[in-house]
Chains A and B, each alone.
Chain A
Amino acid sequence: MKIGKSYNLWGWVFISLALIALTLFILYPIIYSLYLSTFSTRGFLKTFVGFGNYKRLFQDRNFLLSLKNISIIFVVQIPIMLFLALIYAFLLNDPKLKFKGFFRTALFLPAVTSLVAYTILFKMMFSTDGLVNNILLAIGIIKQPIRWLLDPFWAKVTLIIAMTWRWTGYNMMFYLAGLQNIPNEIYEAAEIDGANRRVQFFKITIPLLKPIILFTTIMSTIGTLQLFDEPMNLAAGVVTGSSVGPGNSLLTPSVYIYNVCFKYVPNFGYASAISYVIVLIAAILSLIQFKVVGERR
């Protein structure tokens, strides 16, 4: 449809409100923080440092640690969660399965909770004298209570368990929606040809869901880079001092940015530089994922 001049004007009218709001609350902050990232700011003092903040980043142990922390989540949590979600979707897509609605609702329910609320819940469950330890002790899996939130390794395990609980069902729904586009006849034909469930899963489901798997992987990657509510609330009040989780094991880039701005002596310029590096990492990772999956949509 070719549009005339007056319709073109109407197009701008319709998007004007959004453009004003986006410029004010997203575009202006992005540009301003690029400018700010070339300064070192201490309260009202502002000194131009050029690329100084970016150079400083690569020697900042806390920043590097925060990157290491989220890369563990990236490598361990995302694959576990997406693989589980795929399996659930595959099983629930079986037309012969009973109680499908119940299972689907139950598995999706965690996605209803707010990030703060479920984190608090998990923090209580995983306290050293808490429910999870009591159960594990009672059935004899462990002899000593695990110091979930007091040990750097276990603190990360807790975070990974919590995030997997919250997001697996959410991702499952994407796959279920995608599976609806795959005709059941394909599975029936495969069954007649003698393909068992495992073969069906790896040879039919995963290849056909590739674009959606890519989408969920990118969303999860961006989500991991932005991780804030969970580490903040898991760490709150457990360890004293400025450490985020034991030995800063729950320090993420977003939490670090927040702390640089509002907890330590505020250095807005440096925080902006961190933000820019994170945006860059997000862009690069998304690009790599596109390339790896090899499908541009």
Chain B
Amino acid sequence: MRRKLVYTFIYIFLSISAFISIFPFYWMIVGSTNASVDIIKGKITFGTKFIENFKNLIETFGLGQVLLNSLEVSIFVVIGSLIVSSLAGYGFEIYKSKSRNRVYAVVLWTLMIPPAALMVPLFRLMNVFNLIDSLWGVILPMIPSVFLIFFFRQNFQQYPKEIIMAARVDGASELRIFFSIVMPSMKATYAAAAIYAFMTSWNAYLWPLVIIQSSEKRTMTLFISNLASGYNPDFGVVMTGVVVATLPMIIVFFALQRYFVQGVLGSVKQ
């Protein structure tokens, strides 16, 4: 009897928590189908204004270009950081040496530094490269990811070293071993890392805010931030913008849940 009561209480507690977690998603999707006045009035049922809001975003606010910019940034960051960090993680793990372990410790230490602290020198560096107000200026500094180097190293720890030894005996070169033997067998790791890199680049805010100046170069986060911070924002349009910004992540999440969780949590082995 008492046991049943405890469980009833647990289910109620978890249900309320789940409701609070999900409700803002529901509210955002419903909001994207309503006009601004209705949202302010507190309407929380589906309306008919989605197409209008969406059209408004594209025609008045230039959403199309923004999506292309964000996509370009994310694709290059994902490809770049996957190659650079997996090579490094492999190098640190497979060819262990004292000096490289010292380098690795320094690399990990930099995780503590707030990105805002690097802004000024990076901005000046980008100025030297003539990359201010360009997408490449956004992309390049996001490619080296300390977290992903760490993540790859952790995962290469599990890779059976005998396979590498055997390939060496067969005369395969070190690069060939990495690219045609190790890499193809670590698809899950790469998938999780790709999700992580996609998520951080798609959602990056501070660095694009610093480097991007013209409105044709804006990324998604700058775009919705601008939409919402005006004096009298159109709630319907803002909500539609937020939906467009969030949707890719939700789709990736539900399609690849297992990799997603691994990518977001990083090194914790499931």
Contact = CB atoms under 8 A, between A and B. Distances in A.
Interface of A: 1, 3, 7-8, 10-15, 17-19, 21-22, 24-30, 32-33, 36, 88, 91-92, 97, 102-103, 105-118, 120-125, 129-131, 134, 165, 169-170, 173-174, 177-178, 180, 197, 212, 222, 225-226, 228-229, 232-233, 236-237, 253-254, 257-258, 261-262, 268, 271-272, 275-276, 278-279, 282-283, 286
A100 B107 CA distance: 38
A128 to B, nearest CB: 11
If over half of A's interface residues share one DSSP class (helix, strand or loop), that class is named, otherwise mixed; here it is: helix
B21 A3 contact: no
Contact of A129 (B40, B91, B122, B257): B40
A21 B225 CA distance: 29
Interface stretch (B47-55, B61-69, B260-268): B260-268
Given A26-B118, A30-B118, A116 B224 contact: yes
Interface in B218-251: 220-221, 224-225, 228-231, 233, 235, 238-239, 242, 245-246, 249-250
Contacts of B205: 114-116, 228-229, 232
A229 B206 contact: yes
A121 B28 contact: yes
Nearest to A215: B268
A19 B146 CA distance: 11
Contacts of A173: 261, 264-265
Given A88-B17, A177-B269, A282-B112, A14 B91 contact: yes
27 contacts: A8-B95, A11-B97, A17-B83, A26-B110, A29-B117, A30-B121, A33-B118, A88-B14, A88-B17, A110-B21, A120-B224, A121-B28, A121-B242, A122-B24, A123-B228, A134-B42, A165-B20, A165-B24, A177-B270, A226-B114, A228-B116, A232-B205, A237-B228, A261-B120, A271-B119, A275-B117, A282-B113
